[in-house]
Chain A
Amino acid sequence: MATAAQEGSPRVFHQALRAAGVRATKDEPLGSVLDECMGRLQRHYRCEYVYKAAVADRVVFGRHSPRTASLHVELPVGRSIVDLAVFNGTSTAYEIKTEFDSEKRLASQASTYLKAFEHVYVVCHPDRVERCLRVSDPAVGVLALTRRGQLATVRPAIASRDRMDRSLLFRLLRASEYQAAVERLCGTQPDMPNGKRFSHYSRVWETLTLDQAHQAVVAAMRRRTTQSSVSEFVSALPKSLRVLGYATPLSAPQQQRLLNILH
């Protein structure tokens, strides 16, 4: 997607479609062809991207709105990387376990996410529900992606902020974000050389309540993708590319070039 946006040409899409044996006619918009491919994946090969697209579609574009709910793809949390994270008034982590994945790391991943998110869900294939229920902490919710592409709640997540870890929350933020949050909550901070900022601000951060720390993280993470330059762009993308849209940083001219190619 980044290459197509840089080149302003559908070349790489057509190359990939040809390699996949998909014939695209010139009359059909590229976006529709990609959505049709996504439909086929949903029916015949439910890889991780199908699950991600379902969560984006049902949660961010369905239950909420991209103007108020922020989606983050492959977000590093501690030593793990959560597949999807949504920040609206609260924080929710979605760990995906397709029928091709192993649940071996689920327990340790979920225990990390429970320290950084108010809600944690594992999204899995219906055949893997029992295993996911058994392996994961009872506070972790389980969603099954049905054959029709809906997310069925098998077990709701148990929300809590008490189990959160301030240090994990702090590390989700960029330097400018934690500086702004600490200054807002704790007052002006002394000038600091950039090599010592992290240790100073992380020490002050430890004095925040868990509620304050969590709210500061939610506000900062929301700001990253709910601004109109992002939300309008991802809303204009075909459904099949929305997750990629969130995951691929593009300049405004690149976004426009990509939309011109797709529609």
Chain B
Amino acid sequence: MYFPFLYGRRSEFLAVRAMLGDPRDLSALVPVFEPINANAADLTRCLDECEDQQQPSVVIVNPTRHQLANGANRVAWFQTVSAVLGRCLSAAPAFQTSDYTTGAEMRAALGAFPRRDVAVVHSGAGLTDADVRRAANDGRIAWHIVIGNKLPDRQRILLPAAKTVVVRDGFIKQVRNADYDGQEFFSDLYRTYPPAAGFGDFLCLGSGFQDGGSTPAAVAIHAAYKKPTTNDLWMEHFISDDTAIDVGDVAGKFLQAARHLVNAARRRPGEFGSNQALDEYRSCVNTGYYPGLPTNKKYQIIHHMCVTLDVLSGAL
């Protein structure tokens, strides 16, 4: 099972919604959403569409980032999302731990969603060993999603392997797009995750949440591929030729980067596979159309999920 960890920005939701129309078998896909916006409209629409197709997902119900760092926003958001989760049973409400979490907090939060599968996202070491043991024996908790090495190893081994999901951030973030270079190892978790039940990553976005940003000097497309010599997942960075802020425009730079990706995918189909995102990039290059940076991000997310599902299923 593959658990891509997504921050709840519009491009992430749009990517998941686009995946719902993909011909691939999505039974191994379980997107994990950490909402960040006070307005839950995009999340709601995404969860409703997932529900229509019985697509499982995980939604963190105690988010603390960005607009939801504000307590008042969080209260209003929770009211809306509780109602949505009430009708979307394919989504598992999840409690995210931190270094300061208490077991009582976790049980109270998950108690708001009785008689259904829930999940715990282990992002900290706040729980006691007894809390973790109790959670491990709680039949309602379908998934224990462990982020990197945030959970102490002595507690991780208390969790039932059949419910544990290992999430690692294989993406090495650079300060500037122009600093990305060539290819680098991303992950081999897709074949090493057993005996855990599943694995996850932060796709080509990285685990550090960053809001917005100014006009980039260079445009980057980060595309996962299967390295033929090792069968590991690698990341190739396709960067625009123009990398200075005072040269060209973002639209032209996007097309430069997209052209590099399209050429690579054409030359190495056995590594990048074929999917709707690559089709979109090809169409942009052929027509000179610039879809905007959020859509560029959406395409990268789609490509990443498709490649990961393909290596997992053996299609790639």
Give chain A's interface residues, CB within 8 Å of chain B: 76, 78-79, 168, 171, 192-199
Contact = CB atoms under 8 A, between A and B. Distances in A.
Contacts, number: 35
A195 B284 contact: yes
Given A193-B288, A193-B289, A79 B245 contact: yes
A68 to B, nearest CB: 30
A195 B246 contact: no
Contact of B251 (A79, A168, A197): A197
Nearest to A194: B290
A198 B288 CA distance: 11
Q: Interface extent on B, as a size class?
A: 10 to 19
State the main secondary structure of chain B at its contact with A.
Answer: loop
B248 A198 contact: yes
Nearest to A195: B290
Interface string B268-287: 00000000000000001001
A81 B287 CA distance: 34
Contacts of A199: 248, 252
B249 A196 contact: no
Contacts of A76: 245
B245 to A, nearest CB: 6
B282 to A, nearest CB: 14
Contact of B249 (A192, A193, A198): A198
A76 B217 CA distance: 13
A198 B255 CA distance: 12
B238 interface: no
A79 B245 CA distance: 7
Nearest to A78: B246
B254 interface: yes
Contacts of A168: 246
B251 A198 contact: yes
A198 B252 contact: yes
Interface string B230-247: 000000000000001110
